[in-house]
């Protein structure tokens, strides 16, 4: 069995980033940068692609949210920026394809 490699070009392609944007949730809190899915334009997607291609992309710090649990404890959430969510989803898409091809063949 030959394992297929994860290609960086496939992860950062405009088409894959568009799929990543599509996969992000729209009915939740805005990202750590205050931006929502609806506000992420095609121009911003192209700019994100350029940053990734030039290897100048830097993830933004997560926004920390503290939720109270019913038992009195606390639950901490890290909210990523919208652009980071897109990159994470784009990477996940390619990883899923890689896993599916290697485990289901």
Q: Residue 48 is encoded by which pair of tokens?
A: 């994100």
**Nearest Cα to 40, choosing from 52, 24, 53, 27?**
24
Residues 38, 43, 48: CA angle, nearest 5 degrees = 95
Output the pLDDT for position 38. 87
Determine the longest span between alpha carbons in the chain, in angstroms.
Answer: 51
Q: How far apart are alpha carbons 94 and 16 in whole angstroms?
A: 8
Which pLDDT belongs to residue 1?
42
Tokens 């503290």, located at residue = 66
Give, for 55, the enclosing helix (H) or strand (E): none
Tens-digit pLDDT profile for residues 45-89: 999 999 999 999 999 999 898 999 999 999 998 989 999 999 999
Domain limits, the chain: 8-103
Cα–Cα dist 13/88, whole Å = 13
């Amino acid at each position: 069995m030959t394992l297929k490699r994860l290609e960086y070009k496939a992860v950062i392609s405009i088409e894959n980033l568009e799929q990543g944007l599509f996969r992000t949730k729209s009915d939740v809190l805005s990202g750590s940068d205050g931006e929502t899915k609806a506000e992420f334009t095609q121009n911003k997607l192209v700019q994100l692609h350029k940053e990734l291609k030039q290897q100048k992309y830097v993830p933004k710090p997560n926004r920390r949210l503290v939720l109270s649990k019913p038992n009195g404890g606390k639950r901490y959430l890290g909210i990523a920026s919208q652009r980071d969510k897109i990159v994470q989803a784009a990477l996940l898409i390619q990883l899923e394809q890689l896993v599916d091809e290697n485990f289901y063949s």
